[in-house]
Structure 1
Amino acid sequence: MVAETTNQKEPTISWMDTPPRSPLLRHYSAKMIAGMPWLDKLSAPLQKWTNSLFGSPKTPEYRIKDFLAGVWFGHPLHPVLVTIPIGAWTSAMVFDLAWLANEDDDGMAWSADMMIWLGLAGAAGSAATGIANWVDTDGQEQRTGMLHALLNGSVTVLNLSSALLRATGQRKTAITLAGTAYALTIYSSYIGGELAYSNAIGVNRVIPEAGSDEYVAVLDESELVPGKLTRVDAAGMPAVLLKDGSTIHAIAATCSHLGGPLDEGSYEDGVVYCPWHNSGFRMCDGKVVNSPAVYSQPTFAVRVRNGKIELRRLEHA
């Protein structure tokens, strides 16, 4: 084995801030974003303002965030809505190209104009749902999300300008702007893919965990303190127990939002709150009470036999 030598005078860089080596597109894209610390100066006040707008999980206005995040929908709403502007502006580009081939085709011109406006409407919904997912990020993910938002904002401004120019008869200039916007859309979509698939923002963090189809002993009943969140291992899957009177509840201990340890959170009125971002889940059935989580926690059947608490996983994440 060959030992790796480093220059002791060079500062150590965390792996979290080190771009992937391959492929080159990911490497240079991540390196570019890492070299944009000015994005943090934009994202910090925006995140603070957005959090103040949404309020805390126990306030009525927080329900707006729950709606935008997709709690009612069962998974994040943002990926659904982004298909509207991307699809509409793709169609607009096709219609514009057809019009350029035959500038007397008013039908193609009208169709392209309608698709530009449809995309703008969809962009508004995409932005609102996107910020509801982004507001709970930090570090490199927060910076990447800020760049994603700035690119999308630029795309929206360019397409709005294109729509207005079309109304004044300056169609070729409008098509140029729309084409530029579409090129930015491609890269912005790539950034969005990095957030979703590389950084796992909005991904269910519980689904890879196992659990057992059979009851497994996890703890002596005498060791479970009433009202205290207690972490146990259920055949390789972390679970959190809570004894309420004579009833013992058990749900997955890994928060479905970003993997926070629910056993280190707080418990109030039947709800456990994640210590990282305050996602709330009902202990009795794992249901999401408030965002940023949108996926319910898997639950366990609980029984006590021979003084041992036993758990069996009940459903898919």
Structure 2
Amino acid sequence: MSDTTHEPVPSTTNVWQSFADRFGDSLQALARALTGGTQKPPRFLKSLLSGTFGGHPLHPAITDIPIGAWTLTAILDIIWLAAPASNSWAARGALVGAIVGLIAALGALFTGLADWSDTYGAERTVGFYHGLLNTAAFLLYLVSLILRLLSPLNESIAAAVLGFIGFVAILVAGYLGGDMVFVKGTNVNHTAWEAAGEDFEPVLPASNIEEGHLYRVTVAGVPVVLLRRGEQYYAISATCPHAGGPLDEGTLDGDVVECPWHGSRFCVRDGRVLTGPATVPAPRYAVRVRNGQVELRRLGGH
């Protein structure tokens, strides 16, 4: 009996992963450049596309518009195909839906690129295919629109078929987008479930705290970053709400700390977000000095 060595057969998952990885680095570099991620603070464009100024990620809010418009387009196309002679109004309505969806999809494209440019690992791979399918849907609806405009009374069976294919693409893309958020936690507030103790907890002797240095301490099991300015002390969560980066390892500029992972900037005095991609403030902590000890307690809300 002879020994036979078998090479492992690559799984489908590994094939998809390697395909995304081959293009991921280059595409992310391009995405960062296009969405302002490579600019110096305050990175206004990055913050705008991330939704920082509104306190909520912008991409999921915008995606509702093209999905709704193209859903209406598909319904109207079905109505028109059921009775073309008497339902020409439905074909014209489908044309309007296709146009609205395409315009809104441009906003979804750039906000999605801004979010995806900060992902890595499995979430980056899923995001890659999410974006690929949405891009395919955009192109399909664009060709569909052109065919509608070139057809008498905006009626085209080929345009409707392309729209149906594009609609399937956005449904699958939407499923992948949900997987990124609900399974992999992309763009979920990483401080939402941090514990909050009811009482002040001593963390460090006041004599051990130098001015202008970031100190990582623990309060109710939660990492907190502490800063001293003169006789004043400030403390916020040490976890960046955007992706969980360690703010205590970030760069301090005055009273502003920059996350070392994706460059979100927070005011240590009150936890405000000054620069995206973060959209929610860092939780604040009340600070007092008692018996030579600095004591902290999380404030209610953010």
CA distance in 2 between counterparts of 1:36 and 1:235 reads 39
**Paired residues of 1:76 and 1:294 also in contact (CA < 8 A):** yes
Partner of residue 88, structure 2: 106
The code of the aligned residue for 2:69 comes to A
Partner of residue 49, structure 1: 30
TM-score for both structures, normalised by structure 2: 0.91
SS in 2 for 1:160: helix
Deviation at 1:225, TM superposition (A): 2.1
SS in 2 for 1:248: strand
Match of 1:90 among 56, 67, 71: 71
Q: Verify: 1:226 aligned to 2:200, yes or no.
A: no
Q: Tell which has more relative contact order, 1 or 2 (C-alpha 8 A, sep 6+).
A: 2
Match of 2:257 among 262, 266, 272: 272
The alignment's C-alpha RMSD in Å is: 2.0
The code of the aligned residue for 1:109 comes to A
SS in 2 for 1:35: helix
The code of the aligned residue for 1:314 comes to L
Q: Verify: 1:172 aligned to 2:154, yes or no.
A: no
Q: Verify: 1:38 aligned to 2:23, yes or no.
A: no
Partner of residue 81, structure 1: 62
Unaligned runs of 5+ in 1: 1-8, 12-27
Match of 2:185 among 194, 200, 219: 200
SS in 2 for 1:103: coil
The code of the aligned residue for 1:161 comes to V
User: What CA deviation, in whole Å up to 9, does each residue of 1:47-86 have, x standing for no partner?
Assistant: 11233342546346x2111100000010100000000010
CA distance in 1 between counterparts of 2:127 and 2:14 reads 10
Worse-superposed segment, 136-145 or 125-134: 136-145
Q: Verify: 1:299 aligned to 2:281, yes or no.
A: no
Partner of residue 311, structure 1: 296
**Paired residues of 1:34 and 1:140 also in contact (CA < 8 A):** no
CA distance in 1 between counterparts of 2:192 and 2:17 reads 34
**Paired residues of 1:33 and 1:143 also in contact (CA < 8 A):** no
Match of 1:144 among 110, 126, 130: 126
User: What CA deviation, in whole Å up to 9, does each residue of 1:10-47 have, x standing for no partner?
Assistant: 99xxxxxxxxxxxxxxxx9xx54763412222221121
**Paired residues of 2:37 and 2:114 also in contact (CA < 8 A):** no
TM-score for both structures, normalised by structure 1: 0.86
Worse-superposed segment, 164-173 or 130-139: 164-173
Partner of residue 24, structure 1: none
SS in 1 for 2:226: strand
SS in 2 for 1:281: strand
Aligned residues: 290
Partner of residue 6, structure 1: none
Q: Verify: 1:116 aligned to 2:98, yes or no.
A: yes
User: What CA deviation, in whole Å up to 9, does each residue of 1:95-132 have, x standing for no partner?
Assistant: 11111122121211111110011110110000011111
Identity %: 40
Runs of 4+ deviating beyond 6 Å: none
Unaligned runs of 5+ in 2: 1-5
CA distance in 1 between counterparts of 2:192 and 2:215 reads 21
CA distance in 2 between counterparts of 1:39 and 1:282 reads 36
